[in-house]
Amino acid sequence: MKKIAILTCSNAGLDYLDYPKDIRILRSVIHFGTDESFNDFIDMDAKTFYERIKKDPNDIPKTSYVSIGKMIETFEELEKEGYEEALVIVISSELSGLYEAVKRTASEVKIKVTVFDSKTLAYGEAYMVLEAHRLAQEGKSVTEILPYLEKIRDHDKVFFAVDTLLYLVKNGRLSKLSGTLGTMLQLKPLLVLGDNGKVETLEKIRTIHKAHMRVLEKYIEETKNKNVITYISHAHADEYVGWFVSKIKEAFPDREVIVAYLTPVVGAHTGPNGIGVGYIQID
């Protein structure tokens, strides 16, 4: 049986979950201006990050994925530890250049590297990582693990709403929303991250409460009579999380709801108080 390393990027938010510590995390970097840079979670965790951007909404952070040098160093360390292969599960290639960067880096190291485009982020990505690790521990090969990941990817969807579109617009992560910037920033639209790995607008909504109602309605509509894993990913939006959990429990009393933070490199695009309700259909 080959010794297989499982890696992911910090966009998955594993740091806020209980996870096997032999999973390696390629950490993105948060930049404030030209003078301040922080490794995701290690130098700045979610609570600290959201408190900072709430205080100064005009201080829009930028992000960058892990450096090529750090990736090479990580793969070389894995080889020294006796790993023969590495499976790297990354944020949607529509939202980051990390997928292509890992592919390029793979040709520069001796260990065999396979990179998998999750076409998502946050808990949807984290679940794929945890399942890949479980399967590798059971003795499955990378070739055998990939179809499992593809099935999860094809059955994962998240609906979300943000308090402001400023961060998504400034960081270029929003598609299919027309209008001037001033008009856009007044909206609290229903957004979706679906099969194509892009953030798209489903409906234009004017108030955050109505946006939350539509997130809930879409989730209930799409998961009725299905066996699903339900998750809430949020940008320090504790005031909203309780409402969503209670409403989901009203509709589906037996469903467990997994709640997890959006890590800073994701929150740099949603802004504070962004919240998503997602599901993974499991049969």
In total, the chain counts a number of residues equal to 283
Q: What are the residue boundaries of the structural domains of the chain, listed by start?
A: 4-28+65-153, 156-281
235's CB contacts (< 8 A; 6+ apart) are: 46, 50, 162, 261, 262, 266, 267, 270, 271, 272, 273, 274, 275
Q: Is domain 4-28+65-153 given the CATH code 3.40.50.10440 in the classification?
A: yes
Percentage of residues of the chain with pLDDT beyond 70: 95
pLDDT at 168: 84
Q: What is the pLDDT of residue 59?
A: 86
Angle between helices 208-223 and 238-251 (to 10 degrees): 30
pLDDT (0 to 100) of residue 177 = 54
187-244 pLDDT, tens digit per residue, is: 888 999 988 899 888 998 999 999 999 999 999 999 999 999 999 999 999 989 999 9
Average pLDDT across the chain, whole number: 93
Q: What is the C-alpha to C-alpha distance for residues 228 and 250, in angstroms, rounded to an integer? A: 16
Structure tokens at 7: 């890696």
The two beta strands, 228-234 and 257-261, are parallel
Q: pTM to 2 decimals? A: 0.94
Residue 131 has pLDDT above 90, yes or no: yes
Mean local confidence (pLDDT), 168-196: 71
Q: What is the CATH number of domain 156-281?
A: 3.30.1180.10
pLDDT digit string (tens) for 6-32? 999 999 999 999 999 999 999 999 999
Query: What digits encode the pLDDT tens for the residues 75-110?
Result: 999 999 999 999 999 999 999 999 999 999 999 999
Share of the chain above pLDDT 90, in %: 84
Query: Looking at residue 1, what is its pLDDT?
Result: 81
**Residue 179: pLDDT over 50:** no
Segment holding 175, helix H or strand E: none
